[in-house]
Amino acid sequence: MDAGNDMTGDVVGNVNDDHDSDHESRSDAARAGRRDEAVRAAVEQGLLGPTTPVVGLLDVTGIQESAAALRTAFDAVTAPGTPVLHAFAVKATPLVPVLRLLREEGIGAEVASPGELALARAAGLSPGRTVLDSPAKTPAELREALALGIAVNADNPQELDRIAGLMRSAVSRSPIGIRVNPQVGGGSIEALSTATATSKFGVALRDEGAREWVVRAYAERPWLTRLHAHTGSQGIPLSLMAEGVAETYGLAEEINRRIGRPQIDTIDIGGGLPVNFRSDATTPTYADYARVLREAVPGLFDERYGLVTEFGRSLLAKHGTVVARVEYAKSAGGRPVAVTHAGVQVATRTVYAPGAWPLRIAAYDGKGRPKEGPDVVQDVAGPACFAGDLLATGRALPLLEQGDYAAALDTGAYYFAHHYAYNSLARPGIYGFAPDGAGGIAFATVREPQSVEEIVAESGGAHAAALTTLRAPGGR
């Protein structure tokens, strides 16, 4: 499973026209330039240094550009007036200021837990721009979502029964759909492939009797007006994603035909656009995917259906950078090892599954300037106390020395916002950056760094004597 990022070339080459690729590569280069400026400014302004040796940085301009690219891509292929909701998959970057920024860019939220729903609400997202999908919604969660009027996709027949029960006892404005798994197959990363034959998500459409069950479910429940599939994620080729959408569209057509009216009015195509982790290039683009979809499923765009999308990784990944100070530089078995403050706590997937999730590492000197010098094969290690806590092994980079900085690139989604509390390592501060209008960089706090006091409190500090004073009632 080493081909995690090797899956897009086949389709992309055919659909990218020159005009778009010029524009894309200019904005990709500009993003890399902004990143270098931000690292330097973070060191200069003291956000990063000996006492705060790791931070997460978010490129506000880049996030705005990706949001605009998403809107433009689908505007270009949908009939005028088609309702389109782009709902950001909150799990990719569960940070309230990010959700608010996206809201300002016209992007809604896809949530999958009470916590994610609370984040979306704290960011000011309205129920009409929020979608709830989770494979394990409790009755209380469903009741809350229906009371608020949030769109809900039922994962399975038991959940649909629960929703039906709630719909009988109260009126709800919530649009309701069923999530199906078109079972078109997986990609190169098993753990992220949602459309395999035995995926835990949705109603497995090709299982015996399943398709009939779905058609009947709609026929018996006129309030079922949406159909949902999410056939990502990272590691899935565009052609396979399009096949999943085509299967879903075909089912919606069949249901509406058999019921005799357009009961399904909205198709939720999920997210899952893969991200290129090998360079600064944005490939595939939203425009690429929209064009592939339009070719594969023209009927989806002819104004009979509203659309919902649920992109996560592709909106944020390239706009985040973890920067960590090199505490020590040593050598072991002839190999240089830079011991940094970024490891499993901020890059959990990469550390545990380095073959599927390799990250690019950039070297900066002690002033935050891109490091010059010949490439040296070295390991970049994290601070955690287990041998495998490595951000990169055998990587050719200018030699990292004590007091330098190592940056893990493309970590804006599913990385530093997904802290793993190994060794009680603190959650780093996260700062958004943008040009300050005077040739410099301005930062805004997105999340405060976690303090040691908070770590103690979150680790049962208030209950220190709980176990030593535990007594059975009436015990000795």
Ligand X SMILES: *Cc1c(COP(=O)(O)O)cnc(C)c1O
The nearer residue to ligand X, 56 or 312, going by C-beta atoms, is 312
The answer to whether residue 110 forms part of the interface with ligand X (CB under 6 A) is: yes
The nearer residue to ligand X, 309 or 345, going by C-beta atoms, is 309
Select from 34, 91, 129, 291 the one that contacts ligand X (CB under 6 A): 91
Task: Kindly report the number of other CB atoms within 10 A of residue 97's CB atom.
Answer: 17
The nearer residue to ligand X, 272 or 358, going by C-beta atoms, is 272
DSSP H or E stretch at residue 72: helix 60-75
Pick from 397, 416, 261: nearest CA to 324:
416
Query: Which of the 8 DSSP states describes residue 202?
Result: S
The answer to whether residue 175 forms part of the interface with ligand X (CB under 6 A) is: no
Select from 310, 379, 389, 404 the one that contacts ligand X (CB under 6 A): 310
Amino acid at 230: H
Pick the catalytic residue: 118, 197, 385, 457?
385
The nearer residue to ligand X, 92 or 406, going by C-beta atoms, is 92
Smallest gap from residue 310 Cβ to ligand X (A) = 4
The nearer residue to ligand X, 41 or 180, going by C-beta atoms, is 180
DSSP H or E stretch at residue 380: strand 375-381
Hey, what are 465's tokens?
């004597």
Instruction: Tell me if residue 308 falls in helix, strand or coil.
Output: strand
The answer to whether residue 356 forms part of the interface with ligand X (CB under 6 A) is: no
The answer to whether residue 271 forms part of the interface with ligand X (CB under 6 A) is: yes
Candidates 97-105, 230-238, 385-393, 426-434: pick the segment binding ligand X (CB under 6 A): 230-238
The answer to whether residue 272 forms part of the interface with ligand X (CB under 6 A) is: yes
Select from 4, 244, 312, 428 the one that contacts ligand X (CB under 6 A): 312
Smallest gap from residue 135 Cβ to ligand X (A) = 9
Query: Any bridge partners for residue 444, and if so which?
Result: 432
Smallest gap from residue 163 Cβ to ligand X (A) = 17
Q: Maximum CA pair distance of the chain?
A: 81
Pick from 20, 60, 10: nearest CA to 281:
20
Q: Measured between alpha carbons, how far is 260 from 186 in angstroms, rounded to an integer?
A: 34
The answer to whether residue 233 forms part of the interface with ligand X (CB under 6 A) is: yes
DSSP H or E stretch at residue 11: helix 9-15
Query: Any bridge partners for residue 133, and if so which?
Result: none
Amino acid at 222: P
Amino acid at 245: V
The nearer residue to ligand X, 89 or 242, going by C-beta atoms, is 89
Q: How far is CA 141 from the centre of its chain?
A: 22
The answer to whether residue 325 forms part of the interface with ligand X (CB under 6 A) is: no
Candidates 52-60, 138-146, 309-317, 322-330: pick the segment binding ligand X (CB under 6 A): 309-317
Alpha carbon separation from 365 to 3, 66, 331, 402 (Å, rounded): 32, 30, 19, 9
Smallest gap from residue 180 Cβ to ligand X (A) = 12
Smallest gap from residue 131 Cβ to ligand X (A) = 9
Select from 313, 319, 325, 427 the one that contacts ligand X (CB under 6 A): 313
Select from 28, 133, 365, 389 the one that contacts ligand X (CB under 6 A): 133
Smallest gap from residue 94 Cβ to ligand X (A) = 12
Interface of this chain with ligand X, residues 365 to 404, rule: CB under 6 A: none
Smallest gap from residue 312 Cβ to ligand X (A) = 3
The count of residues interacting with ligand X (CB under 6 A) is 18
Q: Measured between alpha carbons, how far is 370 from 144 in angstroms, rounded to an integer?
A: 50
- Judge whether 385 counts as a catalytic residue: yes
Pick from 250, 254, 233, 241: nearest CA to 300:
250
The answer to whether residue 89 forms part of the interface with ligand X (CB under 6 A) is: yes
The nearer residue to ligand X, 289 or 364, going by C-beta atoms, is 289
Q: What is the 3-state secondary structure (H, E, C) of 337-363?
A: EEEECCCCCCCHHHHHCCCCCCCCEEE
| Residues recorded for the chain | 476
Task: Kindly report the number of other CB atoms within 10 A of residue 259's CB atom.
Answer: 14
Question: Which position has the token pair 């055919």?
Answer: 14
Residue nearest to ligand X (CB): 312
Candidates 14-22, 307-315, 356-364, 455-463: pick the segment binding ligand X (CB under 6 A): 307-315
Select from 12, 58, 77, 92 the one that contacts ligand X (CB under 6 A): 92
Select from 237, 270, 383, 412 the one that contacts ligand X (CB under 6 A): 270
The nearer residue to ligand X, 59 or 133, going by C-beta atoms, is 133
| Contact predicate 74/307, CB 8 Å | yes
Select from 108, 127, 232, 358 the one that contacts ligand X (CB under 6 A): 232
Candidates 241-249, 270-278, 286-294, 382-390: pick the segment binding ligand X (CB under 6 A): 270-278
CA angle 213, 194, 77 (to 5 degrees): 90
Q: Measured between alpha carbons, how far is 454 from 472 in angstroms, rounded to an integer?
A: 31
Q: Which residues have a Cβ under 8 Å from the Cβ of 170 and sit 6 or more positions away? A: 146, 147
Q: Measured between alpha carbons, how far is 230 from 245 in angstroms, rounded to an integer?
A: 8
The nearer residue to ligand X, 24 or 110, going by C-beta atoms, is 110
Catalytic residues: 385
Note the residues at the interface with ligand X (CB under 6 A): 89, 91-92, 110, 133, 230, 232-234, 270-273, 310-314
